[in-house]
Amino acid sequence: MPTSRPRLFALAWPLFIELLLGIGIGVVGTVLAAQLSDASGGAFALANHVSATLFILFRLIGAGISVVVTQSLGGGRRDQADAVARAALGASSWLGGSAALLALLAAEPLLRAMNAPDSVLPLALPLLQWMAPAMLLDAWNASMASVMRAHMRTRDTLLVIVVMQLVTLLLALLLMPLAGLPGFALALTLSRAVGLVMHWLLWRWRLGLRPQWSDWWRLPRNELAAMLHIGLPGAAENIAYRLAYMVSVAVAGQIGAQALATQAYASQLMYGVLLFGLATGFAVEIMVGHMIGAGHLHAAHRLVRSALAVGLVMSLLVSTAFALAAPFLLRMFTQDEAIIALGSWLMWLTVLLEPGRTFNLVVINALRATGDARFPVLAGAASMLIVLAGGSWFLGVYLDLGLTGLWIAYAADEWIRGLLMWRRWATLGWVPSARAAHRRLRRSAQ
């Protein structure tokens, strides 16, 4: 087997650029919305938070697609990998469609549950409803991209993302001055339709996969069960985190429209900080999945340790750079000096937060790739709900620390969960799951 570090980098850099483009479009959308007003900037962020929460439905199978496909490919079972890929399309139709219906029909109660300020709700409501079709298209694109990455076709998925984001940017620049926030949603939907066509063509040309019409709605039991074995715990973890995070956003909304806008702008910068760790985590998941399928457990252990060491150093360097540049970067969103001052302080707190998050981004993906998917949610749910959600309210409202209290709660939660995940990996608690996954593949090949 080739050395892990060059292969890891070869996988990680397209993922990094892909994520950077995704974050970049979010930043551009926030800037364009903020140019309308700070209330529009808050509405844009709030609608996107709700959209991301609804998209957790897709995570019921999303977390399992890449793991099951990579393990199958690592074990030499291409036929099994292809069957899972086809099953992912049908599951994505049902789950993505459900998220879209909720966004369309329940937008107002969902936004009111987020304590949307009176100045924000009328702006966020039509935006969330117009984003509904994009959720279904995103589910299909996400599942097809996961399969491509599992085949180590990260450059092809990067091409799709580049085209999608360019289309989103151009259409948003044209439509938002005319239609306001719904113009961004329309740009998003059209770009996702372009991405779906490109993924369909790449499946045919690169992977030799030609989905039938029935694949878009069928739910094959065996393949679905394999994805749910990994996806259900992964979705539970995401649900717990998203619900806890949404509580913190609701706390920001309770503090006021200015606090909600500051939280939105600082969060956009924070997303830029975590990109390297996130790309590394996704690349580690792909490689560990292949290694587990092939039975190379020692190589997987070495890979995770080296990737984590690099990730910790990079998280400190990148977060410090963003903190230094925050006063200038925040002026992309607003000229309000109070927002800029508070947002800059929050970015210095992010320097303390990010190393803890790196443990989660790298190690949780590795644990999931070994098949040890239940431990992260069982170990982390209490921290998410008590430290992240409860801490946001206690520190932000009860102790009247405002957004500083929210960021302290974020950092405490990331460090607690991150150290728990590292202990699991370092003590080899994942090995029984990895051996069981490898045995299943060997039995199915006989």
- Owning domain of residue 190: 4-445
Segment 339-358, tens digit of pLDDT? 999 999 999 999 999 999 99
The CA distance from 240 to 245, in Å, is: 9
Q: What is the tally of structural domains in the chain? A: 1
Instruction: Give the pTM.
Output: 0.80
- Secondary structure letter of residue 394 according to DSSP: I
**How would residue 444 be classed by pLDDT, with cut points 50, 70 and 90?**
low
Q: How many CB atoms lie within 10 A of CB 20?
A: 17
Confidence of residue 445 (pLDDT cuts 50, 70, 90): low
Question: What is the tens place of the pLDDT at every residue in 241-273?
Answer: 888 988 898 888 888 878 888 888 898 888 888
Phi-psi region of 218 (alpha: psi -120 to 50; beta: other; left: phi over 0): beta
Long-range Cβ contacts of 196-205 (<8 Å, 24+ apart):
196/137, 196/140, 196/141, 196/144, 198/159, 198/160, 198/163, 198/164, 199/140, 199/141, 199/144, 199/145, 199/148, 199/160, 200/144, 202/144, 202/148, 202/153, 202/156, 202/160, 203/85, 203/144, 203/147, 203/148
167 or 237, greater pLDDT = 167
The phi, psi pair for 217, rounded to 5°, reads -135, -15
Report residue 117's pLDDT band, with 50, 70 and 90 as the boundaries. Answer: confident
CA 284 from chain centre, in angstroms, equals: 15
49-82 core/surface letters (b: 16 or more CB in 10 A; e: else): bbbebbbbbbbbbbbbbbbbbbbbbbbebeebbb
Per residue in 14-66, pLDDT tens?
Answer: 888 888 888 788 878 888 888 888 888 888 988 988 898 888 788 778 778 98
The span from the CA of 1 to the CA of 288, in Å, is 13
